[in-house]
Every structure is written in structure tokens, then in C-alpha cells.
Amino acid sequence: SQPCWSEYLTTRIEQNMVLSCTCPISECRAQPTTAFICSIVSSEDIIAKYEKSLLRGYVECCSNLTWCTNPQGCDQILLKDGLGYGAACSKCSWISCFNCNFPEAHYPASCSHMSHMTCAKCNHGFCWRCLKPWRPTHKDYYNCSAMVSKAAWQEKRFQDYNERCTFHHRAREFAMSLRNRVSSISEMPKIRTLTFVLDACKVLEQARKVLAYSCVYSYYNQDTEIMDIVEQQMESLELHTNAL
């Protein structure tokens, strides 16, 4: 029935899965056409989101097209031909590098130096050289960086953990500073309550504290089986903390 189709397609569109959706009958592999979807879905907002999905799918299928990589957000579509290294977006002026797909121009570092990559769609971290999931304990990363000596590997490993720990401590200080500023605003007369923002800041402080000291724990822990679980939990917590 039309209401069933409408609910099914709307859900698929909202979940960004409409381009791969098929008929809900398990043995039928037919895909709904654009005309069919537009005739079933009545919400203009949902149709607009569907059209954005079509555009995104088209850009991703064309090897010569790409989106601007500005992490602050930019909907400009760029033509890769002739851009190469250090290309500036005509809309936001963000400078990208399309030789290695790193989201930002990285001079004077070469493209081969940019080993730690992050997927712009799902935030999955991976090693650019061996394509394995990125973790601080990712020994293949150091091997493919030609750090063959144990001393060099240990030094690089310490630097990575120390940088992560320092980053989380600084991010925690930012959350504390933000909470203090919000507190001063909420004390002013005729200002509606900002309790939810204060609670969010407190959660940020706690999450950053946990992440910072988790780096210390991870660095000294030698139990590989336990650390695989801990690192997965840390990655999940860091992803959600960054989003918050």
C-alpha cells in the first residue's frame, strides 16, 4: 500500500540508504525509480534530502569529481583535473590536496608522510600505506614507515600517546572554560536557563579526562587481547566526544 511504501522510503532516505534500497519483498531485487519515489513521498524536506543523496552518489561515482574537503563544511563540487596539489576551493578558499586525498594541503610534508587517514563519511581511521585500521598500537604503521629499530619504534609510540594525551587535556581545559563562560551568562537576569549546556560541558570534561588517562593506561599495558577491547572503546568514546 502507498502508506507502507511511503514509510519505508522515508526511513531509507533519512538513513542515507535510499540509493541501495530494493523492494521490501525479500525475493524481489527491483529498485524504486526516482519517479516512483517522488510520487510516493509527499514531504518536500524528505524529497530534498533524497535529491542530495542522488547528487552525493553521482559525485562519488565520478572519479573526476570531488567535494571540497573543508572540515567546517562546504557543498562545493570540484573538478579534479588540473587541481593536483594545493588546490583552493572557489567558494570557501579551503586549500586541499587531491594527490593523496588528505583533507588539507600539507606542505612541506609529502603525500607519503600523511599515513594516518580518516574517512570523511564515517570517521574510520586507517593507515594510508597498508590500509589496516588505525590504532596507536598499529605496529604495521611503524614498520611501513621504515622504523625498523626498536628504539625508534618506542620513541615514535611514546610521541603518539603523549600527543593524544596532551590533546585531550587541552580539550578538557576548553570544556571547563566554556562551562565557566556559560555559567556567567546564565546568572544574568532575564536569561533562560542554560542548564543543558552546563551539563554538556560537564560531560565533555569527564570524557576528555577519561580519554587522557586512557592514553597513559594504553601506553603501559602490554596485554594485547585486553588492549584491543580498550582501544575499540576509546575510539568509540572519542568519536562521540568529538561530535558533542
81 falls within a domain: no
Q: Is residue 109 part of a domain?
A: no
pLDDT tens digit sequence for 5-24 = 888 888 888 888 888 888 88
The reply to whether 71 falls in a domain is no
CB–CB of 89/68 below 8 Å? yes
Residue 129 lies in a domain: yes
CA 108 to chain centre: 25
Number of domains comprising the chain: 2
What is the pTM assigned to this prediction? 0.39
Q: Are 160 and 136 in contact (CB under 8 A)?
A: yes
Q: Are residues 218 and 136 in the same domain?
A: yes
183-238 per-position pLDDT tens digit: 887 666 655 667 888 889 999 988 998 888 888 888 777 777 788 888 888 888 99
Task: Provide the grid cell at 156.
Answer: 615514535
Residue-number span of the structural domain to which 148 is assigned: 117-243
Residue 73 in domain: no
**57 and 167 housed in the same domain:** no
What sign results for the dihedral spanned by CA atoms 25, 31, 34, 35? negative
Q: Is there a domain that residue 101 lies in?
A: no
Contact 89, 96 (CB under 8 A): yes
Domain annotation covers residue 75:
no
> Do 156 and 231 fall within a single domain?
yes
